[in-house]
Amino acid sequence: MANPIQHQCIIRLIIHVIQIRIAIIVINVLHVNNAINSRMCWSAEVSLKTFVLGFVAILFAGQYMSLPLVLFCVSIIFMQLIEYFMWTVGLRNKTANYYISLAAALLLWLQPIASISTTKGETAVGLLILYTVLTVLYKGIYSIIDKTPSQQIYKMYEGANGHLVWNWLQHDTQTAIGLLLYFTFLLLPIILSKNWTLLGVIAITLGISLYTFYRHNTWGSMWCWIVNAIILFLCGKVIWTNYFN
């Protein structure tokens, strides 16, 4: 258990992190400067900063959280690191683009598993088996229907609105079914765990991102929004645990 001096240092750092994230969020929401906003939450620099701040928040808040919840948050935060490499390397190199896109797709598949791990016992086992079976069936059926080479499917590029377009997610039935599968097993374990605060944070940010996806075919600021929200959630959890609980 941290001593009072360590508590003060932790709280000061957390407050600094909160101030930085709130400033970024406010600029993004209010469109204070269009030049800044055009790159906010979807540039290499901001992706890296968001990842680092999220990782720091995990390091300090993780000791007050269960390991499965830590792993779930990490699975979300690491998408910012993947997007950083896409901005810096992938957009200039087709081979790198393909493998970075595969890494993003793999992380998306792992996120519901990380969410399932926050539940316990037979419920977790049942959800994991069901998710695995449905995912295998989904990928198997569409691999037969769609013969497009994977190199043409798994790639990203910058959209007209400045966001990364994930080429394997389109406005079609295949994507709709895949997203339904993803969101169901991402959110259901959190509901079963009765973590209503985290559920609210993720549901709101996913709602915003779905809007940008169906309007611009890009995920917009999805991961930036979620990571920002998780950082504030984790920082608030540490402060509450140390001073009000």
Angle at 115 between CA 226 and CA 229, to 5 degrees: 15
Residues paired with residue 33 on neighbouring β-strands, in sequence order: none
User: Which long-range contacts (C-beta less than 8 Å, at least 24 apart) are formed by 98-104?
Assistant: 98/150, 98/151, 98/154, 98/155, 100/156, 101/154, 101/155, 101/156, 101/166, 101/167, 101/168, 102/150, 102/154, 104/79, 104/156, 104/166
* pLDDT (tens digit per residue) in 83-130: 999 999 999 999 999 999 999 999 999 999 999 998 988 999 999 999
Give per-residue pLDDT as tens, 205-227: 777 777 766 776 655 556 666 66
Kindly list the domain boundaries of the chain, sorted by start residue.
4-243
**In this structure, which amino acid lies at residue 131?**
Y
What pTM, to 2 d.p., does this model score? 0.76
